[in-house]
Structure 1
């Protein structure tokens, strides 16, 4: 049985982290361990993690200074040695068959040196674990064009194989702002993404969540406008897409390299070509029009 490491970055997670760890320990896939990095918590998270570490051989814990969840995840990804790597947030609850399903799906697609990323849908719950609903599966194709501008799915559901992990850590990740967004782009460009529309996570939606999935529709619209006006997120996305092409151009097939090169062409001619592309990048017509306007204005 292949070995899985579940990696988790924890920060001030005392309220919910026990439930999450317990749900991971309850997996029906047995050959795994959990590696947790505490990212400078100021509450009782350290004490809770030390208790788990002392009482369970499947749990590794390290304590460090606060550096943000993305760098914390990348640190763990670089340090751990396993066949598969699963990402976990600190405040959700996993169904018992999450890991076994992911590995079964991945192994159906494995071949030599092919990076693979598996992700799934999720069920939404409030802070007290009352069911809210399940998002409709995205109607877009999960392809490179769409993944260049939007993280393809919830990072806390990701499972990647060793080939994907090795490809990601071959280069410095110090300048990468969102670990799951970068992971999905690298695998889309150089490997294969596998989506399971079923849910294997009870995602706890509360105000402390960093993920977009914790936001309502109106909150996401406000966040999008704020990013447009005050944030560097679009600038960062442009820079990282250029970095993706520079680092991985020789590991991409001709089709993907052509797509990436087109979206990285920010000349007037290149922007017009992007606006007129047949690629469908958003889930509805209104968002598609807004997005193409953003491309034309060279914001992205």
Structure 2
């Protein structure tokens, strides 16, 4: 790398986040040992979010840019991030990070990710997180660093707000998005799609068991952290509606080689024999035995 201080582009998607977004941005601007700048795009907020962003852009014109492109016009967090990725594909940066509107980053979040990428020759990075309930309750939410061959078929690497990746990955993924725009309108998870694409592209992913982020709970997370009885009930309800499998089927349409694989073909057909096969092989999708058993039971008993 030619520059002494790594330059990190932070992609921040907002929607009705006026209560928390200023704190999140402050924690990004307080990152140590990196040169962090922010591309932020709002998805039609009706609270004070837009005004807060405009005021902050005026205050920090060299650090914050409001993006107004609309290559993906449909609402939703995934499409908001897709627009940010495309807008950022020509930016001057060394690394890129996803950012939610309502978390708080520890001051060393980005530099630790950058060092992990550099020291391990990796393309992409994710980490554990610390769950936070209104600054009153905290719980470490460890993500597995021991991964299995087909984990990306049924989950992302971690929360998208922990993702950091190279400038080269940004450019490649932006090209993938623009060339497949017609098929992305119903995609719900930008982070899971990036992980699925990266693994399908044989990129190297570094999984950090440490946490450098306070991941706020009790707000409008699509799924939220995989922690606690309430989160379990929420996930089971989504699985029972076929939510996860439907998202996976959309990915398989985008990756013909994955759809043609044994795992992909069985997910696509989803008959009784296929479900039994997938359940028996659940340890290929989850590294923790307890998680694999839970996944197997879901595959056998509910819609996924």
> Into which bin does the TM-score normalised by the smaller protein fall?
0.7 to 0.9
Q: How big is the alpha-carbon RMSD for the aligned residues of Structure 1 and Structure 2?
A: 2.9
Instruction: Tell me what 2:109 maps to.
Output: 98
Matched, 1:150 2:155: yes
Which residue is 1:132 aligned to? Answer: 138
Q: TM-score, normalised by structure 1?
A: 0.82
Contact persistence 1:37–1:72 (CA under 8 A):
yes
Give the distance between the partners of 2:282 and 2:16, measured in 1 at CA. Answer: 45
Secondary structure of 2:131's match? strand
Does the aligned pair in 2 maintain the 1:265–1:271 contact within 8 Å? no
Question: What's 1:237 paired with?
Answer: 247
Match of 1:274 in 2: 278
Hey, what's the Cα distance between the residues in 2 that align with 1:144 and 1:243?
A: 20
Pairwise CA distance, 1:258: 6.4
Q: Deviation string for 1:69-91 (max 9, x for gaps)?
A: 11000110011124321000111
Can you give the 5+ residue segments of structure 1 that lack an aligned partner in the other structure? 251-256
Cα drift, residue 8 of structure 1:
0.6
> How far is 1:273 from its partner?
3.4
Match of 2:47 in 1: 43
Q: Does 2:188 align with 1:183?
A: no
SS at match of 1:13: coil
Unmatched runs of 5 consecutive residues or more in structure 2: none
User: SS in structure 2 opposite 1:279?
Assistant: helix
Using structure 2 for the length normalisation, give the TM-score: 0.81
Change (3 A) 1:137 1:175: closer
How far is the alpha carbon of 1:100 from its aligned partner?
A: 1.3
2:73 corresponds to 1:73: no
- Corresponding residue for 2:94? 83
1:164, CA displacement in angstroms? Answer: 2.5
CA contact (8 A) 1:39 1:72 kept: yes
1:265 and 1:5 mapped to 2: Cα distance? 41
CA distance in 1, matches of 2:77, 2:249: 20
How many residues are treated as equivalent by the alignment? Answer: 286
| Equivalence for 2:65 | 60
